[in-house]
Amino acid sequence: MTTILGLSGSLRRASINGGLLRAARDTAPQGVTVVIGDIADVPLYNGDDEAAHGTPPAVAQLNQQLAAADGLLLVTPEYNNGIPGVFKNAIDWMSRGEGLGLFVGKPVAVMGASPGGFGTTQAQSHWWPVLRTLKMRPWWDGRLMVSRAGGLFDRDGNLTDNKTRQAVADFMSGFAASL
């Protein structure tokens, strides 16, 4: 059994990126489990808080999930042509101290959805220096950028477009085969 930890960089209940992550889970090939992690309770990073209280429980949970995973899937929105701050903050927290070792050599793939016409091109490109610094093993063979996503998801953020669902399934098959 192959396990992939999937993280969405949006906190919205009906997020299209949360929906894209659920579609990745639902279309993963047989023998692959996508565990959906939750970044909602990760506090803003503050070194003083870390020194006084250690690793927050939400971060410890994410690190446990990452340690148990064979790969990491980042499903990123794009805010102002870049990585959402809340998403980067979660990865920053997770990579503190011993958490850094969980990233080294770990396979990682990036996908994202946006209501705009360019998908999440800029945000995905902004992830590469971060992933390089963490010494992760990016899956270079696939990128999935879902543009004009507003009409592809229902009001609850669920992917309803069959063509996009097939693209997600193909992406997940390719990533899983690389693990």
Domain positions in the chain are 2-178
**pLDDT value for 142:** 83
Query: Residue 72 has what pLDDT?
Result: 98
What does the block give as tokens for 20?
Answer: 């894209």
pLDDT grade, residue 143 (50/70/90)?
A: confident
pLDDT, average across residues 3-7? 98
Return the DSSP state at 28. Answer: P
DSSP state, residue 153: B
The mean pLDDT of 144-152, rounded to a whole number, is: 95
pLDDT tens track for 91-140: 999 999 999 999 999 999 999 999 999 999 999 999 999 999 999 999 98
Q: For residue 173, what are the contacts with CB-CB under 8 A and spacing of at least 6? A: 29
Asked if residue 167 lies in contact with residue 179, where contact means CB atoms within 8 angstroms, the answer is no
Higher-scoring residue by pLDDT: 141, 101: 101
Q: What confidence tens digit (pLDDT) does each residue in 45-59 have?
A: 999 999 999 999 999
Fold of 2-178: Rossmann fold (3.40.50)
Exposure b/e, 151-163, CB count within 10 A at least 16 = b: ebbeeebbbeeee
pLDDT at 80: 94
Q: At what angle do helices 85-94 and 57-68 cross, to 10 degrees?
A: 70
pLDDT score recorded for residue 91: 98
Query: Is residue 14's pLDDT more than 90?
Result: yes
Q: What is the mean pLDDT of residues 33-39?
A: 98
What percent of the chain is modeled with pLDDT above 70?
100
pLDDT at 134: 98
Is the pLDDT score of 85 beyond 90?
yes
Total Cβ atoms within 10 A of residue 96: 15
Report the distance separating Cα 179 and Cα 143, nearest Å: 16
Backbone angles phi, psi at 56, to 5 degrees: -65, 150
**Residue 169: what pLDDT?**
98
